[in-house]
Structure 1
Amino acid sequence: MNVQDVRKMFPILDQEVNGNPLVYLDSAATSQKPTSVIEAVEDYYRRYNSNVHRGVHTLGTLATDGYEGAREKVRAFINAKSTEEIIFTRGTTTAINIVATSYGRENVGPGDEIVITPMEHHSNIIPWQQVARTTGATLKYIPLQKDGTIDIEDVKKTVTSNTKIVAVMQVSNVLGTINPIKEITSIAHKHGAVVVVDGAQSTPHMKVDVRDLDCDFFAFSGHKMCGPTGIGVLYGKRELLNNMEPIEFGGEMIDFVGLQESTWKELPWKFEGGTPIIAGAIGLGAAIDFLSDIGLENIEAHEHKIVQYAISKLSEVDGVTIFGPKERAGLVTFNCDDVHPHDVATVLDAEGVAVRAGHHCAQPLMKWLDVSATARASFYLYNTEEDVDVFVKALIKTKEYFGNVFG
């Protein structure tokens, strides 16, 4: 993979911010978009903008082919059995909420357990808090090791015969921890529990095979994997989805509507009420083509190289604390002594370096780390070691600035 050639495919990277060349290190929040994705969305709106499924005219047929063609691309990308198992949503948050509302509230009751981890994104905590509150179930947490990883022995101790749902992220958006989903799933299934995986931070960066993982539900977002915002995916095993009720009702998802009762379309459309996210799905399909052409194995190897280089460089800077395990996905979360993360991000931005600062929608994890906030640099296929050098140099400058002001 030639990173310089890859960078040329992302027009937004060729600009200056505050008089400096842009160094974009915030892909865990949202990735940048290659020209092919931008053009695919523009082509839909310019050439065949129409609603899907309902019309027999030419534009409607082209739009339907594009929309359903994208569903097949998603199916192949994550190795699902059927396109019936691929539901387009607004994003990971919506996908998890569908499972929590439609499956969780109907299959969990008093005395039952829902098991998650303290590292989860709020989108994989709050829905389960709500299910527990409304059903009388107990919300339990798998404890974390000191480096922010999960020990399988702790999973075995936490998941019991009362556990009905295990919900866990595949990759932490704060620590970069890569969780052993396949092993967790095996343990959960032995107790009859279903497994919900938040794949928002894994799907863009590594090969995902839902059949190999054997998870029951898997959620991810398009905008973190070079696709448009506002589009995501819920994968669910067909037998589970068939027994679940829709949570949005109206057009598109119906089969027959009478004055007193109605029936629903078959999968996957019964979960896609209203006009779907057509342009978003087409853009996601283009993003999948783009990532597949480069190869997820190449992307993962490149990010591993970059993040290890970043850790080695940051480790040389006095007063910088790095959070998370040594082996991790492509991000580094850190703090500088006596400098608030928001101040770090502000000064870095003045140098053209974009990082994220805050609690990263992971307040329970911040409490576990005993910090109020952190700064995070996250990498993707278009980042280079030179980006890391600029970032570290700007960070040293930040520390010197605040040292002079408050020293």
Structure 2
Amino acid sequence: MKAQDEYEPSEEDWKLFDELAGKSQRGIWGDTGDAPHDSQEPPLSNYEIEVRQRRREVERLLTGAYHRPIPAAQEPLARRLLELSTAYQPTELRAVLPRLRDELVLQNLTLESDTSTPKAVPCPDPAKSQWTLYEVWQHQLARDRADTSSKGGQANHGGTLEERERRARVMTVLTQHKAVLSLTKHDWQDAYDAARKMRSGATALVAPTPTPLNELLTDDPELRTGHERVSALVTSMKQIQEHARFLDLTDVRADDLIIKPIEKRVTSRSRDGVPFSADDTEAIFSGYIYQGALPTNKTKAYPFWFWLPLLGYFTGARTNEIAQLDTADIKDTHGLACIDFCADDQSAFEAKRIKTGEARLVPIHPRLIELGFLEYVEQQRRSNQKKLFGDGLTYLRSRLCLKFGETELTRRER
């Protein structure tokens, strides 16, 4: 099988070739002529013919016709086109050169934009001139709460609000507590890059005792925050950056930066888990939900705040498995109260999933029964609740007292 060249020389090609090589050589491509070569110019080598042909194609592109001289202002562009097109055959140049020219022009425009004097950010309200990203987040939160015309914005309930507040503190540390008005494009880029190196469980504090950036980061991949939390942080940071643009505190957009997707991280912590230490356990069950005086600014609590850590402690189940439980999963089996950790049909609404398919029936620990877990389950059933844990709030009394059915949990022990 022989490769076939579908290129058909045009009349302009013949004319160009006649000019470059002399009419007596036209027979190479078409007519066989024996006319004597009457030009005094010595015959050109194949290399010289190709060089001239490439030059003529560049002339045609930049001037619109052959034999027109390239303006001096476009000579640098012509030289670059010749350099970049050396990998292509002369017969391909007519199709390739326009694309190369467009890329060079766009590249030149980008370089000119980067080296030009940065645009001045409009002068904002002087009261906002020293705002960090934490104050920008607070402003956004207040604005969302004041806007009653939309259901969007940041959630007000405890867990989500606390997590967003934590992210705002982390963002502030990542930007080294600088005023947003002073952040350059490179400062923003550095902050997004640093987010990838966050240490798992690191504390991020703002004024009056700001956390230094180096305490938040680590070069050890095994100690870094999981990819899901980092992705959520980056998304929140983009939103706060956009709100800062709305406040005229910056003109840098997230789209102006190089923010690559966060790759999935598999470490020993995510793969095998890390057991809680005695100090960890003590810290979890020493909170006001379980013991001690009730803070004066707390009036409500979610039931899962109380029950989920206890169920995890006494069953060893994963957090997601506990959170997915239905009231129907609490069963009496041969006179023994059990929790049925099982998956649902995947086509079912709110289908439960069990990691690695480890369905199992776990007896309920006597201490959970003593603390009133079964009464809580029965209360959920009487309220026609499908899920064991929902968003229902329980109002707190002068002492923390979570009442479920007939049992009051006034003593909170592990």
TM-score of the pair, normalised by structure 2: 0.21
Structure holding more helix per residue = 2
- TM-score under structure 1 normalisation? 0.21
Bigger-Rg structure (1/2):
2
Higher relative contact order (CA 8 A, sep 6+): 1
